[in-house]
Amino acid sequence: MHALEAAAFAAEDSTQDFAGALLAGLHAQPKRVPCKFLYDAEGSALFERICELPEYYPTRTEMALLKEHAAEFARYMGPDVELIEFGAGSGRKASMLLDALEQPRLYMPIDISPDAVAAAAGTVWHAFPRLKVVPVEADYTGPLALEPQRGQRRVGFFPGSTIGNFPPDEALAFLRRLAELLRGGGLLIGVDLVKDPALLHAAYNDAAGVTAAFNRNLLARANRELEADFLLDRFAHYAFYQPVARRVEMHLVSLVQQQVHVCGQAISFAAGETLHTEDSYKYSVLGFHSLAAQAGFLPRATRVDPEHRFSLHWLEV
């Protein structure tokens, strides 16, 4: 058996986790819930649609950067690597990278959503039938119990600027864990950049309302899984750029004074009260390099699109 096949990922009971986190967040002041719970099957499908929206520039900009620079990044990575993708997405970006890599040994997508893991694994299996693919359904933000490396270089892939969904202290802690996991190899990571707030506002307030549906799906998920009774049209999607903290905040704002029930518990919302569902931090290139260096990585190559919207970083460790 391959060393990584024996990886002991305890797939958590995500419904139970969701119940605990949502109840704790609804009793907190201000109310909030970790953004990872936006991604059940429905939420992951809505996020895939967000990635296709004209206003949502990150996905296509990152894809263009990958297309242009995959060969260069692959040279930095070297031959015979094991590619571990944190947050599997659709597998399309990983396929672009695998295509450029010399004799990759393994592809391991890790994602909390079983559908996302299956989609990524399926796409890559289809494109590279001889490659060993080891899909892992797990919360990669928690401790990852990969077996010690034996020989092959491990390369991490963390596209999409998902690092921006971590508060800065958690981003640092997470990158430190990755540095431990990938020692002797490196990490290719996509990072969204600070820019004109109007562009950011449009990206998180698309005209078709897909981001609003993605946000409200959190309440729909609670209704499906936790016997909750949220009325979705009593909550407004509200997303805005906060330039001091350099983050887009996403909220669900209660339009009326109301009471809801989750797992049998009554929760009150005042009119105008918000449930904070996501932060999306934006970085400068230098700011991100400094974070990566604090985590123990050496930034070796950074590529940015001509409009300076998005960055890809090859970090060695």
- Enumerate binding residues for ligand AVI (CB under 6 A): 50, 58, 160-162, 164-165, 204, 211, 278, 280
Taking the complex as a whole, the smallest distance from the CB of residue 131 to ligand AVI amounts, in Å, to: 26
Nearer to ligand AVI, 109 or 164 (CB): 164
Taking the complex as a whole, the smallest distance from the CB of residue 53 to ligand AVI amounts, in Å, to: 9
Taking the complex as a whole, the smallest distance from the CB of residue 98 to ligand AVI amounts, in Å, to: 21
Taking the complex as a whole, the smallest distance from the CB of residue 165 to ligand AVI amounts, in Å, to: 5
Q: How far apart are CA 255 and CA 97, in angstroms?
A: 45
Closest by CA to 135, choosing from 88, 80, 188, 187, is: 88
Nearer to ligand AVI, 165 or 254 (CB): 165
On the question of a cis peptide bond just before residue 30, with omega within 30 degrees of 0, the verdict is yes
Residue whose beta carbon is closest to ligand AVI:
280
Nearer to ligand AVI, 80 or 305 (CB): 305
Concatenate the DSSP letters of all residues of 244-281 into one string.
TTTEEEEEEEESS-EEEEETTEEEEE-TT-EEEEEEEE
311 φ, ψ (degrees, to nearest 5): -130, 150
Number of Cβ atoms within 10 Å of the Cβ of 112 = 23
Residue type at 287 in one-letter notation: G
Taking the complex as a whole, the smallest distance from the CB of residue 199 to ligand AVI amounts, in Å, to: 12
Nearer to ligand AVI, 43 or 104 (CB): 43
Q: Is 246 left (phi over 0), alpha (psi -120 to 50) or beta?
A: left
Nearer to ligand AVI, 58 or 186 (CB): 58
Taking the complex as a whole, the smallest distance from the CB of residue 281 to ligand AVI amounts, in Å, to: 8
Q: Are 84 and 159 in contact (CB under 8 A)?
A: no
Q: How far apart are CA 240 and CA 247, in angstroms?
A: 8
The continuous run of DSSP H or E covering 289 comes out as helix 285-294
Nearer to ligand AVI, 164 or 299 (CB): 164
